Amino acid sequence: MRRSARVTVTALSVLCLLAGEAAAKVYLHETFDDDSWEQRWVLAKWKEGEGLAGKFELSHGKFFNDEKADMGLKTTQDAKFYTASTSFDGLSNKDKTLVLQFQVKNEQNIECGGSYLKFGPKIDDPKEFKGETQYSVMFGPDMCGSATRKTHLIFNYKGKNLDRKKDIEVKNDNLSHLYTLVLRPNNTYEVQIDQKTVADGSLYDDWNFLPPKQIKDPSQSKPKDWVDAKEIDDPEDKKPESWVEEKQIPDPNASKPDDWDEEEDGEWTPPMIDNPDYKGEWKAKRIPNPDYKGEWVHPMIDNPDYFDDPAVYAYSDISMVGIDLWQVKAGTIFDNIVVCDSEEEAKAVADKYFVPLRDAEKKLKEEEDKKKAEEEEARRKEEEAKEKEEDDEEEDEEDEDEEAPEEDEGGAEHDEL
């Protein structure tokens, strides 16, 4: 029975493998190439009434490679909320690899603002999409001052948003960057920035999906008489009689001024000075505590609330991408948002759009930096030349001042002749 079942399973999995390879699928590739994005994306009503809903527009930004392909969705107004979403024929990533990928360019030198995306189940009414709307994965950069500088990777699990235990780095240099999340059916993940791995491992290790297997036994606590002081004051050690504890003393060298008038000035007292013999506070010698019992260790018991889940990576419905941001400094450009079940497909999109854009941006940035440096150098030279000219003029004037009397003298001599 078991055996024949396994044969069937093996045959099935071969079929699945073949089918799986053929069925690599891109569920969403949003390119923001033209105004048609307005039909695909729904702007949420949230914050509209308060006048805090920021406007989006298409832009390829300052540096670009291909005017049309590099068009992206840009946030345009400072100190606004940006809330919009799109839906697509989505997937359950159960038994599948899920890849979420997008480009983002913060060319505004973003000081404070998020530039992450939310991926999740279809929203009943996209106009009602807002900060609290439940999502499955939140992924991407967030920056505010020096305190917040990270790539968020938050998973919603059983209704709770789980932050990664340790922050993931982020890029902040005005250029386009590619953020890729790979979520695998063996409960591992990988985060790439610009096609380089910056974080990877087990979902179980890096997020608290499951409750701890063991907890501290609530029926036990440290006994009142538990001695956990490693050292004590030596009871044999006594403060010496001669120990000087006065920090200040009346100055023995001061004497009452001759013109001191007790009636008018009151009684004379010498000024206080630091005591040269002061030894500081006396402290007894420390010795090991003979009663020391060691650190008290709380006994652990099995957690009655523990459960296992062999598939924390799995979401039943990923069919929505949402932008839900607060930006103090707007100007973020999103492009090439991809949801697919194949790393190869995601890489193909990146190679086609991101790689040439990144290369062009780097080149243009280098040219700009070079031009700036040259202008700076030219300005410096000009200033130097100007300073030198002024110095020369001053020197000339000084020379003239020195020469003039001589000439006069000469003239006078001449006259005398």
Tell me which residues touch ligand NAG (CB under 6 A).
109, 173-174, 184, 186, 188, 252-253, 276
User: What distance, in Å, lies between the first and last C-alpha atoms of the chain?
Assistant: 141
Q: Shortest gap between Cβ of 182 and ligand NAG (angstroms)? A: 9
Give the angle 305-308-312 at the CA atoms, nearest 5°.
120
DSSP state at residue 163: -
Cβ 252 to ligand NAG shortest distance, Å: 5
CB 189, min distance to ligand NAG, A: 10
- Residue number with CB closer to ligand NAG (146 or 253): 253
Whole-number Cα distances in Å, 55 to 45, 52, 111, 176: 12, 9, 19, 21
Residue count of the chain: 417
Enter the tokens of residue 258. 């001759």
Strand partners, 178: 103
Report in angstroms how near the CB of residue 344 gets to ligand NAG at its nearest: 13
3-state secondary structure 27-72: EEEECCCCCCHHHHEEECCCCCCCCCECCEEEECCCCCCCCCCCCE
Report helix, strand and coil shares of the chain as percent, to nearest 5. 25, 30, 45
Give the C-alpha separation, 199 to 275, whole Å. Answer: 61
DSSP 291: T
With 0-12 CB in 10 A as exposed, 13-18 as middle and 19+ as buried, what is 75?
buried
Nearer to ligand NAG, 86 or 332 (CB): 332
Task: Return the exposure string of 196-213: e unless at least 16 CB atoms fall within 10 Å of the residue's CB, then b.
Answer: eebbeeebeebbebeeee
33/194 with CB nearer ligand NAG: 194
Q: Which of residues 159 and 276 has its CB atom nearest to ligand NAG in the complex?
A: 276
Q: Which residues are documented as binding site?
A: 116, 118, 135, 142, 324
Radius of gyration of the chain (CA): 38
Quick one: 250 or 411, whose CB is closer to ligand NAG?
250
Considering beta carbons, is residue 184 or 347 the nearer one to ligand NAG? 184
For residue 269, the surrounding DSSP H or E stretch is none
Q: How far is the CB of 358 from ligand NAG (least distance, A)?
A: 15
- Minimal distance, residue 16 CB to ligand NAG, in Å: 14
359 DSSP 8-state letter: H
Give the nearest distance from C-beta 214 to ligand NAG in angstroms: 23
* Smallest distance from ligand NAG to CB 202, Å: 7
Of 152 and 171, which CB lies nearer to ligand NAG in the complex structure?
171
Q: Minimum distance between the CB of residue 211 and ligand NAG, rounded to whole angstroms?
A: 22
For residue 388, count CB atoms less than 10 angstroms from its CB and return exposed for 0-12, middle for 13-18, buried for 19 or more. Answer: exposed
Annotated binding site for an alpha-D-glucoside: 116, 118, 135, 142, 324
Cβ-based nearer residue to ligand NAG, 69 or 170: 170
Contact 271, 254 (CB under 8 A): yes
Comparison of 257 and 290: residue with beta carbon closer to ligand NAG: 257
